[in-house]
Amino acid sequence: MKLHFSRRLPAVSGANMKAVDRIEVCETPLDVAAEYTALQGNSGDGACALFVGSVRDFNAGSDVCGLALEHYPGMTEKSLQQIINDARDRWSLGRVTIVHRVGPMQINDEIVFVGVTSPHRQAAFAACQYIMDRLKTEAPFWKREAVADEFGKPSERWVEARASDAAEMEKWSAG
Amino acid sequence: MVKVLFFARLRQQLGMGEITLEDFSGSLSELRKTLCEQHPDWSPHLQRDDIRMALNQELAETGAQVKAGDEVAFFPPVTGG
């Protein structure tokens, strides 16, 4: 009897197994718990930093009753991928997730989820902040708010970009 | 043919989200100039200092060269997150 030994496929290294990017632009509500579970489950990393941004009820001196987000399909995903790639060049990261909602939203709805795993908390914290700072200044999303005046009359306005967001981004180039 | 896209406030101001230019080659600033010559009322919106430009879905400077088949986009500063 002849025995045939098949050669084992080379094991995929742990680092490759863990370096998973998830980028999604969606029109449905974010499921923060599910995103966290998918991110941290079996990552093997000891640290996980999350940021969740939500629709607030007050901006630029008026009551906000709703929000709509427009984006540039295609460029949005490319831009988010580039931001993740640059974060991976700076820190040792495991899994990285960016989920961004578009379309109409209500107050308190989650707009964006950024999650990062790493062996160390410093890298996870820093990368999470870096990704948000880049996203705020580069990724092609635009917010339009529905606001009500003092008489409750509704109107719409595009949200203005903030100089403070650009200043936060500048800190990364200076460092 | 070059596809040109406009987003957000700029799209509303110009009254359209997409236009195509036949037989254009030159820089992004020349492309913007061409559009403003064809549509003089676009100039105050399109020529604003804060308008950003993308070439083939990546942020680009005014000197970037545009060729047939490219996709160009103009938009206001981004406000996501």
* pLDDT at residue A17, rounded to an integer: 57
* pLDDT at residue A57, rounded to an integer: 81
Give the confidence band of A16 by pLDDT, cuts at 50, 70, 90.
very low
Per-residue pLDDT of A95-111, as tens digits, reads 999 999 999 999 999 99
Residue A83 located in a structural domain: yes
The C-alpha R_g of chain B, in whole angstroms, comes to 12
Residue A72 located in a structural domain: yes
Residue boundaries of the structural domains of chain B: 2-75
Select B2-75's CATH number: 3.30.70.20, 3.40.50.10470, 3.40.50.2000, 3.10.20.30. Answer: 3.10.20.30
Q: Which residues from B are below 8 Å from A75, CB to CB?
A: 54, 57-58, 73
* Averaged confidence pLDDT in chain A: 88
Which of B45, B48, B53, B79 to probe by mutation at the A interface, max A CB count within 10 Å?
Answer: B79
Contacts within 8 Å (CB) and 24+ apart, A73-77: A73/A25, A74/B57, A75/A140, A75/B54, A75/B57, A75/B58, A75/B73, A76/A25, A76/A100, A76/A139, A76/A140, A76/A141, A77/A23, A77/A25
Q: How many distinct structural domains can be found in chain A? A: 1
Give the confidence band of A175 by pLDDT, cuts at 50, 70, 90.
low
Per-residue pLDDT of A107-145, as tens digits, reads 999 999 999 999 999 999 999 999 999 999 999 999 999
Residue A68 located in a structural domain: yes
Which of A54, A72, A78 to probe by mutation at the B interface, max B CB count within 10 Å?
Answer: A72
For chain B, positions 3-42, list CB contacts with chain A under 8 A: 5, 7-9
Q: Does the distance separating the beta carbons of A72 and B75 come in below 8 Å? A: yes
